Chains A and B, each alone.
Chain A
Amino acid sequence: METNALIEYSLHLADTALILGQRNAEWCGHGPILEQDIAITNISLDLIGQARYFYQYAAELINQSATSAKEATENTLAYLRTEREYKNLLLVEQPNGDWGQTVIRQFLFSSYQHLLFDQLQKSRNENLASIAAKSLKEITYHLRWSSEWVIRLGDGTDESHQRMTHAIKELWPYTGEMFLDAPYEKETGVDIKIIKQLWNEKVSAVLNEATLRVPEKAFMHSGGKTGKHTEHLGYILTELQYMQRAYPDSQW
């Protein structure tokens, strides 16, 4: 892969993991019950860890090819890039909503990330392959946890069913983007068509069991991969980057 594309692809994977990690972390201390509060924040921690690997790798590549004097680090990449520079999927920046919406978002994402990383672990790029292989073990937990919750709530009470129906309708329009190649994704070696097909099968199977339906016709938003975001990302970054913006280079 050409270096610039590889940097952008690594940033896309890093940003997506970081923003979902940040969103899930908003539940810390607010989960519906203690065990699930702990579960969602554990998932958050895994995602932030994965984001760090990709940022570290991107920083290494940037520094190798850089002309700029200031060294890139995982911190500069996470804390000092603007909204338009962030390349995360639109899905992960969507608000937490109620617990059902958070669970659906995690399920739609984890089922995609599981398939994506399964391919990425066979990448000819050793760095991407080893990050994917490492993360896949954690993603398996996320996928199982979120699938079980989708089924439990979808096939639960009238109210939980109705909330899950609302959540899937709300988030479905942000799933199309996962299967649209950004310019930097052309040579990743990942076959997005196969992922799309397997993802549809997996999602339909779980939603069916949850007595939920895949929305038939929906407009699909896109743009996150190339920095065109919904209004929500700016607010997330404001909170996430506040300390470094207000007190540059401050240390924990």
Chain B
Amino acid sequence: MKVSHHIDKKMIYEYLEEIKDPEVPVLSIIDLGIVRDVSLNDEELEVVITPTYSGCPAMDMIKISIQVMLSTLGFKKTKVTQVLSPAWTTEWMSEEGKRKLKQYGIAPPNPKQQVCNDKLFVADEAVQCPHCNSYHTHRISEFGSTACKALFQCNDCKEPFDYFKCH
């Protein structure tokens, strides 16, 4: 394998950490786990990302943000490539990301995928209310304000909340 030019990957990742998901602005694209690789080939810096959901409108904006960020860092030739395989999963979300989500009022995805199959009328997932920490919650709708979220309500504190659903 050809050894690429000296490139401080760690530094690039630190800068990418500043790019947020426009729909969930507490999460960086690193927290989301959508940055798959950073590499330098023939003076061209390439960032490889993978989409969360096929129709996620944030992806185009994230691509542009990465391009802008890299050019302000002084990279003249940059490329943002989208790969689909392997398909993104919420298991790639960082622990830090999950903590930030909860603090923001969105229940983070459960670590184990529970309802990602086609079985009908299954019991609701046990999702913890991000406000009062009760597990006594119920699902209102499995589709929410964005593709990645479901709508829940807490039976104890009665607050409705978003759940970043497992995928």
Number of interface residues of A (CB under 8 A): 34
Partner of A53, one of B84, B88, B145: B84
B167 within 8 A of A: yes
Chain A residues near B55 (CB-CB < 8 A): 44-50, 52
Q: A129–B85 Cα gap in the complex (Å)?
A: 9
Contact for B147 among A46, A130, A145, CB less than 8 A: A46
A35 close to B53 (CB less than 8 A) = no
Q: Indicate if A131 sits at the interface (CB-CB under 8 A).
A: yes
Residue in chain B with minimal CB distance to A48: B55
- Check if B85 sits within 8 Å of A38, measured CB to CB: no
Within 8 A of B (CB), among A53-71: 53
B6 within 8 A of A: no
Summed over the interface, the residue pairs from A and B with CB atoms below 8 Å come to a total of: 83
A143 at the interface (CB under 8 A from B): yes
B contacts with A, residue count (CB < 8 A): 27
User: Is A130's CB under 8 angstroms from B84's CB?
Assistant: yes
- CB nearest neighbor in B for A127: B84
B85–A46 touching, CB < 8 Å? no
The listed residue (A38, A44, A134) touching B87 by CB distance below 8 A is A134
Q: Does A148 contact B54, Cβ atoms closer than 8 Å?
A: no
**Residues 134 to 179 of chain A near chain B (Cβ within 8 Å):** 134-135, 137-138, 140-141, 143-145, 147-148, 151
Across the interface, B54 reaches (CB within 8 A) one of A49, A126, A206, namely: A49
Least Cβ–Cβ distance between A126 and chain B, in angstroms: 7
Q: Which residue of B lies closest to A209 (CB)?
A: B120
A50 partner residues in chain B, CB cutoff 8 A: 54-55
Q: Please give the distance in Å from A156's CB to the nearest CB on chain B.
A: 14
Task: Determine the residue in chain B with the shortest Cβ distance to A47.
Answer: B55
Report the separation of the CA atoms of residues A151 and B167 in the bound assembly, to the nearest whole angstrom: 25
- In the assembled complex, B118 has its CB within 8 A of some CB on chain A: yes
Given contacts A49-B53, A126-B85, A133-B87, contact A144 B141 (CB under 8 A): no
Residue of A nearest to B144 (CB): A38
Q: Check B151 for interface membership: any CB of A closer than 8 A.
A: yes
A131, B84: Cα distance in complex, Å: 7
Q: Does more than half of chain B's interface fall in helix, strand or loop, or is it mixed?
A: loop
Distance in Å: Cβ of A215 to nearest Cβ of chain B: 23
Interface residues of A in 22-49 (CB under 8 A from B): 35-36, 38-39, 42-49
- B151 near A35 (CB under 8 angstroms)? yes
B148 to chain A, nearest CB (A): 10
Residues 44-74 of B contacting A (Cβ, < 8 Å): 51, 53-57
Q: Using Cβ atoms and an 8 Å threshold, which residues of chain B touch A143?
A: 118
Contact B117 A140 (CB under 8 A): yes
Residues of B within 8 A of A129 (CB): 85
Q: Are B84 and A133 in contact (CB under 8 A)?
A: yes
In the complex, A45 Cα to B143 Cα: how many Å? 12
Complex: A9 Cα to B108 Cα, angstroms = 39
> A114: CB under 8 A from chain B?
yes
How would residues 60 to 99 of chain B score, 1 for a CB under 8 Å from any chain A CB and 0 otherwise? 0000000000000000000000011111100000000000
Please measure, in the bound complex, the distance between the C-alpha atom of A131 and the C-alpha atom of B151, giving whole angstroms. 27
Q: Assess whether B151 is in contact with A138, with CB atoms less than 8 Å apart.
A: no
Please pick, from B51, B85, B140, the residue contacting A35 in the complex, using a CB distance under 8 A. Answer: B140
B119-167 interface (Cβ within 8 A of A): 119-121, 140-145, 147, 151, 167
Q: Which residues of B contact A (CB under 8 A)?
A: 51, 53-57, 83-88, 116-121, 140-145, 147, 151, 167
A-B residue pairs in contact (CB < 8 Å), sample of 11: A42-B143, A45-B53, A47-B55, A49-B54, A130-B84, A138-B53, A138-B54, A140-B117, A147-B120, A151-B120, A151-B121
Q: Apart from A38-B141, A134-B54, list 20 A-B contacts with CB within 8 A.
A: A35-B141, A38-B144, A39-B143, A42-B144, A42-B147, A45-B56, A45-B57, A46-B54, A47-B55, A50-B54, A53-B54, A130-B83, A130-B84, A130-B87, A134-B88, A135-B54, A138-B54, A140-B117, A151-B120, A206-B120
